[in-house]
Amino acid sequence: MVIYLIVRRFFFLVFVLLGLSLITFTLSHVVPSDPARMIAGPRASPEAVEKIRKDYGLDRPLYEQYIRYMSGVVRLDFGESLSSRRPVNQDLKRYLPATVELTLYAMLFAVVSGIPLGVLSAVKRNSLLDAVTRTVSVLGLSIPSFWLALMLQFLLFAQLGVLPDGQRLPIGVKEPPTITTLYTVDALLSGQFGLFLTALKHLAMPAFVLGFGSLAIVTRMVRSGMLEVLGQDYIRTARAKGLEQKTVVIRHALKNALLPAVTVIGLQIGLLLGGAVLVEIIFSWPGIGRYAFTAIQNFDYNAVISVTLIIGFAYVTVNLLVDIMYVLLDPRIRVV
């Protein structure tokens, strides 16, 4: 059953990647600008521009360019970035880990604080704690992330000076040796505890801002799931057996209430990867969101398409993992 799901999703994944690349490719090639001129620079002679157009194959028909590009992509070669003049692969290797680390910490924050908040809020329904939690979750969904980011920078960096205003590490500080590419993990693995703390401090604000919306969603899902489960007969039975409140809530209710939350958490990871753009720009975070933004502004289509494909790939893959987990967690679900 799981195998069937995976096979089906694999075909869907191929379809999505083809579609994404086609749309982005078309979009970036009907631009009212001339990529050859962009590469050559503003002062290049018409002959030089012509030569570049030939060299880069930009004079070929669109479908031919697309096929050429895609035959590279299949071999995981995303071409050369038109603005950095480096292979896009190299750029991605540099920027992707920053986004992954940021997203992981944002998600960690959302899950670790969202689940207990949701549970407590449901168990103590209509209490002060419930009211506060619900207010926080409405705010989490409503505050513009870029505004929250700027306000926090103002408060925690400019006024109080307790947190840095951006970047992964202070300028001049040597990054940890690359093991997993995540600075915090690498710092710990190489035994540099101070560096770990520094990296963590730099992550704090961006991860909080990025995770705040997800925190709200996780809290709401867990709360409404818990409320629904707590009203059911088997919970009453468990209580009637004389089990402690703690056991009932954690062992009996939470386990079942978490199921819908799993889906949402999965979806959030996909959304956060793509949604990190604003946060990355404000916190000068060297991730792929900021990379994509710069690329879009420079009509650097090789870079734009590769980022779109990678995020699309991550999104579909995470969804597949969520579905598999769902099937494994809930024996009632049968794949259709």
Partner 1 sequence: MTAEPRTTEQRPLVLGLAEREVRRQGPLAWLVAFARQSPLNVLALILILLFLFLVAFGSALAPHDPVKPNIQVKLHPPSSTYWFGTDELGRDILSRVMSGAKYSLGIAFIILSIALVIGVLVGALAGYLGGLVDEVLMRVTDLFLAFPALILAMAIAATLGRNLQNVVVALTAVYWPWYARLVRGQVLAVKEREFVEAARAVGASPGRVMLRHILPNTMAPVIVQLTIDVGYAVLATAGLSFLGLGAQPPLPEWGTMIAGARTFFREAWWYISFPGLALTLTVVGFNLLGDGLRDYFDPRSRQ
Buried b (16+ CB within 10 A) or exposed e, 247-285: ebbeebbbebbbbebbebbbbbbbbbbbbbbbbbbbbeb
Instruction: Output the CA torsion sign for 243, 246, 108, 275.
Output: positive
Neighbours of 195 (CB within 10 A): 20
What CA–CA distance (Å, rounded) separates 305 from 313?
12
Among 277, 303, 320, 323, binds partner 1 (CB under 8 A): 277
Query: In the range 195-234, which residues lie near partner 1 by CB under 8 A?
Result: 213-214, 216-217, 220-221, 224
Instruction: Write each residue from 88 to 117 as x if it is in contact with partner 1 (CB under 8 A), else as -, in one continuous string.
Output: ------------------------------
Helices (H) and strands (E) in the chain, counts: 15, 0
Instruction: Write each residue from 38 to 57 as x if it is in contact with partner 1 (CB under 8 A), else as -, in one continuous string.
Output: --------------------
**What minimum distance in Å lies between the beta carbon of 166 and partner 1?**
13
Q: Which DSSP string do the residues of 194-246 spell out, in sequence order?
A: HHHHHHHHHHHHHHHHHHHHHHHHHHHHHHHHHHHHHTSHHHHHHHHTT--HH
What CA–CA distance (Å, rounded) separates 287 from 282?
12
Residue 121, interface with partner 1 (CB under 8 A)?
no
Q: Of 44-52, 61-69, 87-95, 140-148, which segment contacts partner 1 by CB under 8 A?
A: 140-148
Amino acid identity of residue 93, one-letter, is K
In sequence order, the 6+-apart residues with CB closer than 8 A to the CB of 43 are none
Residue 136, interface with partner 1 (CB under 8 A)?
no
Among 2, 139, 162, 197, binds partner 1 (CB under 8 A): 139
Burial of 184 (0-12, 13-18, 19+ CB in 10 A): buried
**What minimum distance in Å lies between the beta carbon of 174 and partner 1?**
31
Among 91, 120, 308, 323, binds partner 1 (CB under 8 A): 308
Residue 306, interface with partner 1 (CB under 8 A)?
no
What CA–CA distance (Å, rounded) separates 148 from 212?
10
**What minimum distance in Å lies between the beta carbon of 186 and partner 1?**
27
**What minimum distance in Å lies between the beta carbon of 233 and partner 1?**
16
Residue 312, interface with partner 1 (CB under 8 A)?
yes
Amino acid identity of residue 327, one-letter, is V
Nearer CB in complex with partner 1: 67/151: 151
* Residues in contact with partner 1 by the rule CB under 8 A: 12, 15-16, 19-20, 23-24, 27-28, 30-31, 138-139, 141-147, 150-151, 153-154, 158, 213-214, 216-217, 220-221, 224, 260, 263-264, 267-268, 271, 273-275, 277-278, 281, 289, 292-293, 296-297, 299, 304, 307-308, 311-312, 315-316
